[in-house]
Amino acid sequence: MALEIERKFVVKIDGPAVLKQADKSIPIIQAYLKVTDDEELRIRKKGPKYIVTSKQGKGLVRKEEEREVTAAEGKKLLASAPKQFQVIKKVRFEFGRWELDVFQTPRLPAGIGIAEIELKSKTEKMPPVPKGITIIKEVTEDKRFKNKNIAKTKRFPSP
């Protein structure tokens, strides 16, 4: 199991032209199979791939393990997700090391997204935010903005 050091932000996107400058964009569908306060197990369709991810811990540093599964197994896991969790649909835009998620289900207000940056250490200085993206608020430690909690509540909290 690897360590994930990730900071998360609510951001303002200065128009659709910003998204066209991304290195790539990937449609994502994800569902949660198990969720506790400090553990989650999810299935994610990321482009054509299906990936099962287990995360443990809270906040900036968590343990993460991923494994790719077959399309047949991935579809079966997506269909078996407990109904108390909403399936999340989003498009991930990659800008170097920055990832920007624009959610389709549940919807965020137009021009708002969630940006993440994975760091190599807790003390690493963050690379510059991509041009056209403005940080509104850091939500790394705010559990309301974890995808697992958004899937449970079926809505986005106010920043």
pLDDT reported for residue 60: 83
Q: Which CATH class is domain 2-153?
A: mainly beta
Given a contact cutoff of 8 angstroms between Cβ atoms, the answer to whether 74 and 83 are in contact is no
Domain ranges of the chain: 2-153
pLDDT reported for residue 109: 81
The alpha-helical segments, DSSP class H, found in the chain are: 16-20, 71-80, 147-153
Tens of pLDDT, residues 97-117 = 999 999 998 887 888 999 999
For the chain, the C-alpha Rg in angstroms (whole number) is 15
Distance linking the first and last C-alpha atoms of the chain: 32
Tens of pLDDT, residues 89-98 = 999 999 999 9
Tens of pLDDT, residues 19-56 = 999 999 999 999 999 998 888 999 999 999 999 999 99
Tens of pLDDT, residues 68-78 = 999 999 999 99
For residues 127 and 103, give the distance between their C-alpha atoms in angstroms, rounded to a whole number.
24
